[in-house]
Amino acid sequence: DEIKKKLDELAEQNNYEEFDRYIELFIKANKLRLDYIINEAHAFIQEQAAKYPRESIVLSFSGGKDSTVTADLAVKALSDASLVHIFGDTTLEFPMTTEYAMRYRENNPKAIFKVAKNREQNFYSVCEDIGPPARMMRWCCSMFKTGPITRVLNSLYRDKNILTFYGIRKVNQ
């Protein structure tokens, strides 16, 4: 509360001049590296996508920054704004994540955007019935993530082979 009060008191003194200046310098200093990484990603996406018909390419979209970047890279690499995006709504999404996914959908009207969601069961009710998910009993992913996504994929592609791009961050250990 004290910090919020102090921030409110000093709000008029806060501006983005220094921040914007440093961001501009940061972008300039890293432009070559970023361009290299983008070109490398585009080449990989194009190489993999060449093995599949365009209608068999799917973007897994969680509404997070990793899947957003992956979607942007794939759409630009393939020059195709109408790629299929599948949003896996686990029913445990933060409201802001769902709002962002719907905003993304509105801002990308050419994208084919499907929502995969378990509409038959409630996560908390299942927890009451069989207990919470655990390391040895990981029922939640199959019931609320992979199951609904698989149903959407089966309804769209049946027995066809597809190529899916996932935005999963690399963790250095």
Residue 173 has pLDDT above 70, yes or no: no
Mean pLDDT (whole number) for 60-88? 95
State the DSSP string of the chain.
Answer: -HHHHHHHHTGGG--SHHHHHHHHHHHHHHHHHHHHHHHHHHHHHHHHHTTS-GGGEEEEE-SSHHHHHHHHHHHHHHT-TT-EEEEEE-S---HHHHHHHHHHHHH-TTSEEEEEE--S--HHHHHHHH----SS--HHHIIIIIHHHHHHHHHHHTT---EEE--------
Is residue 73 scored above 70 in pLDDT?
A: yes
User: What are the tens digits of pLDDT across the range 9-25?
Assistant: 998 888 888 899 999 99
Give residue-wise pLDDT tens across range 81-134. 999 999 999 888 999 999 999 999 999 999 999 999 999 998 899 999 988 888
Q: Taking residues 46-75, what's their average pLDDT?
A: 96
